[in-house]
Amino acid sequence: MPRTFRWLATLGATLLTFAGDTTLAAKFPEPAMDIKPRPGKQSVVLAGGCFWCTEAVFEIIEGVDDVISGYSGGTKETAKYDLVSTGRTGHAEAILITYNPAKISYGQLLKIFFSVAHDPTSVNRQGADLGPQYRSAIFCAAEEQRRVAEAYIKQINDAHVLGKPIVTQVVPLDKFYTAETYHQDYAGRNRSNPYIVNVSDPKVEKLKKMFPGCVRKRK
């Protein structure tokens, strides 16, 4: 079932998806460990359910230069939306974020990932989107990414700010496969889509309320 209609079929469950407590920003810990800034652009691959939603959140963050929707965790041959959507290919819907570490850090991106972009306490599910392709995961391209991610997960769990333990997988990045063209900037190009209006847009608004200083200023 296409995700738009799947959402309509389970409206109540979707509206409850990490709806957002604006007081969470004050409770959510700053990463105690982070990657030191270095010259040049850096990247991270994150999976947090529907890539239409996670892309929409991260592409408006100051310091983020590019966000690409795609697939990670499976093979090149099956990195196709119709196959990934079956939940049998091993992929997760993911985004490749390219960012400027002089403006925003890896740890700060993780803070937004855990507090705004998705529900990291839900196993193989985000709202009405069900299956391993919607799992929460950080695909680490380097050992320092793994160390920081695992340390921050422990820090959040120890602070008990989410009410339940984080289930996010922290795994090595093998390959990232760019999704089909029509998935790129999907939220920006499909403003009237009910899924975007009712699932993606609230996450963007949550980011603006919780971390207004992180949102890129319009020119």
CA 111 to chain centre: 11
Catalytic positions, please?
Answer: 50
Query: What is the dihedral angle through the alpha carbons of 120, 121, 125, 128, rounded to the nearest 10 degrees?
Result: -100
Tokens of 34: 């982070």
Q: Which of 130, 15, 117, 11 is nearest to 64 (CA)?
A: 117
Cβ burial of 124 (10 Å; 0-12, 13-18, 19+) is: middle
What span, in angstroms and rounded, lies between the C-alpha atoms of 59 and 62? 8
Instruction: Say if strands 125-126 and 64-72 run parallel, antiparallel, or are unpaired.
Output: unpaired
Rounded (10°) angle between helices 51-58 and 201-210 = 30
